[in-house]
Structure 1
Amino acid sequence: MTTARRAAQDAVTTEDVTDWWSTSISDIEPGVIRLRGYPVESLIGTASFPATIWLLLRGELPAEHQARLLELALVAAVDHGPQAPSIAAARMAATCGVGLNSAMATGVNLLGDTHGGAGQQCMEVLAAVRHACDAEGVPVADAVRMLLAEYKSARRFVPGFGHRFHPRDPRRDPLLSAVESEVTAGRLAGGHLEIALEIEAQLATGRPRPVPMNIDGATAVIYSELGFEPELGRGLFVLSRSVGILAHAWEERGSGRRIKGPIPPPLLPTYRGPEPRKPQD
């Protein structure tokens, strides 16, 4: 060991070590667990799970309406059946002899930009339109019109609108109705809701069928109105969908089937390669 390196190590103090993973979230010592300053025993029975999520992410306990809206969004996104790749993967993993935690991780790790990322992307869209309206004075309708023109030119779908399975996502109306009630009561500003509804209205113009908000769009409105950053919107979706992933993995564990593949055993994937041949061919 060089003299300089030894001197650097000698200069490290206990405080340097304890500061290495310093945190403002949890304060843990023997017999003590405090979350953002609250003793955990004082939260048990007084703070709901959504309120505790808010506390850990935001630093303070939420108001009643904030906790209620967060809970609505979390409940709405818990599951979408085995046709969802993340849940199908978790179920397959559960038949392969791995632990429940590994089966859950298999499903969660499939939640990326394409499957599971539309909520964050929609929040980013709402934030961009909101910035154009607030900072540049562009009317909402004009800002949305410009946004949709960009998406049309790039031949891209607007995240958070339309659904490959549901003509009208059944989760849209109760979520947006709850937001509208809070806006009417003066507890939410409603700017992100206004933008999302304008996008929905303009997407429907000239089409034989409307393109309503899906779960990603509706929860994006809630998370945006509640002041969450877009990346946290994705994290909250993953947290919510983990419930469904857990339930499906557990159900599949009880089926007794081993090494369950993506299609039933009598069926085989279509082969499109060369006809049977020998090396000399």
Structure 2
Amino acid sequence: MRSVTSKQVTDWWTTSISDIEPGVIRLRGYPVEDLIRGASFVQTIWAMVRGDLPTDEQARLLEKALVAAVDHGPQAPSIAAARMAATCGVGLHGAMSTGVGLLGDVHGGAGQQCVELLTAIADEVAAAAPEDGDRDRLPDVVADHLAACKAQGRYVPGFGHRFHPRDPRRTPLLEAVHAAVAAGTVPGRHLAVAEEIERQLGQGRARPVPMNIDGATAVVYAELGFAPELARGLFILSRSVGILAHSWEEQQSGRRIKGPIPPPLLPTYAGAAHRPVAEPDGTDD
């Protein structure tokens, strides 16, 4: 049996995030006591996932996106599931993990998908052939991507909402990004792409198809330079606050085993009609 050296043991979980030893806690090199005294929670989130502290302007923009996605009521599957779990005796941690576990590609993943779309378009525009000169390639590239989505039967992530004609979170977030562009905090490439998508989606329609929370926060995360998958992680971090609040509220209600619909209502049954089961004839093989 091969022996294991102490260095192999200590290298097993090598990390550049946390430096822990007796009496010392450093996160990304920053002593935790200094972070406690001088950094906000949002600044610490940035430092943990990006490696250094953000500027005040970057932190303010990130905070707006995190605030915007905190909650969307019990009709959201993640919140509903967490509330049901809270009535089943699993404790607050179990209720929260149930809700967070539902934040997958369909419910919770559109922000990541939108960052990927905005980045693909922005990169394609930036890589336009020199012979295009000063011609604005953005409308053509957006049109091509929207046509591809339509041809493949895919929806455009981050736009439209099944409940809100106009998502109330869109405008304040985009206002903040515009202000950040004007201040030189972010470049504005992804913002321009998102607004062009929104413009083209609304052409020829009686009702516009504005950005939703996923699209607006995707603009923020993309402009701040977060990787697409981190956009989903940050959304989950934000929505966990709402899941916590709803789980706690439901737990305090005292209700037990609260199902998805109130009794005496039952789900519609669409299976076979009543069928008898033949009784054994009593003979042995």
User: Which residue of 2 is the match for residue 42 of structure 1?
Assistant: 34
Across the aligned residues of Structure 1 and Structure 2, the Cα RMSD in angstroms comes to 1.2
Shift of 1:175: 0.2
What whole-Å deviation, never above 9, does each CA across 1:149-199 have from its counterpart, x for those lacking one? 001111221000000000000000000000001111222110000000000
CA distance in 2, matches of 1:159, 1:237: 15
User: Which residue of 1 is the match for residue 76 of structure 2?
Assistant: 84
What whole-Å deviation, never above 9, does each CA across 1:207-260 have from its counterpart, x for those lacking one? 111100000000000000000000000000000000000000000001100000
- Describe the SS at the equivalent of 1:254: helix
User: Which residue of 2 is the match for residue 250 of structure 1?
Assistant: 248
What percent identity do the matched residue pairs reach? Answer: 70
* Aligned amino acid, residue 260 of structure 1: K
CA distance in 1, matches of 2:139, 2:269: 50
Shift of 1:122: 0.2
User: Which residue of 2 is the match for residue 267 of structure 1?
Assistant: 265
Q: How does 1:102-251 map to 2 (within 5 A)?
A: 102-137=94-129, 139-251=137-249
CA distance in 2, matches of 1:195, 1:250: 40
- Describe the SS at the equivalent of 2:25: strand
CA distance in 2, matches of 1:157, 1:141: 19
* Aligned amino acid, residue 149 of structure 2: Y
User: Which residue of 1 is the match for residue 275 of structure 2?
Assistant: 277
- Describe the SS at the equivalent of 1:197: helix
- Describe the SS at the equivalent of 2:19: strand
Unaligned runs of 5+ in 1: 1-5
User: Which residue of 1 is the match for residue 45 of structure 2?
Assistant: 53
CA distance in 1, matches of 2:50, 2:275: 63
User: Which residue of 2 is the match for residue 64 of structure 1?
Assistant: 56
User: Which residue of 1 is the match for residue 283 of structure 2?
Assistant: none
CA distance in 2, matches of 1:127, 1:139: 15
Shift of 1:280: 3.9
- Describe the SS at the equivalent of 1:206: coil
CA distance in 1, matches of 2:273, 2:147: 48
Shift of 1:33: 0.8
Q: Number of aligned pairs?
A: 273
- 1:19 matched to 2:11? The reply is yes
User: Which residue of 2 is the match for residue 3 of structure 1?
Assistant: none
Contact 2:128 2:137 in 1 (8 A): no
- Describe the SS at the equivalent of 1:270: coil
- Describe the SS at the equivalent of 1:45: helix
* Aligned amino acid, residue 192 of structure 1: H
CA distance in 1, matches of 2:191, 2:231: 16
CA distance in 1, matches of 2:271, 2:230: 44
Contact 2:70 2:241 in 1 (8 A): yes
Unaligned runs of 5+ in 2: 130-135, 280-285
Q: Normalization by structure 1: what TM-score?
A: 0.95
Poorly superposed stretches of 4+, deviation over 3 Å: none
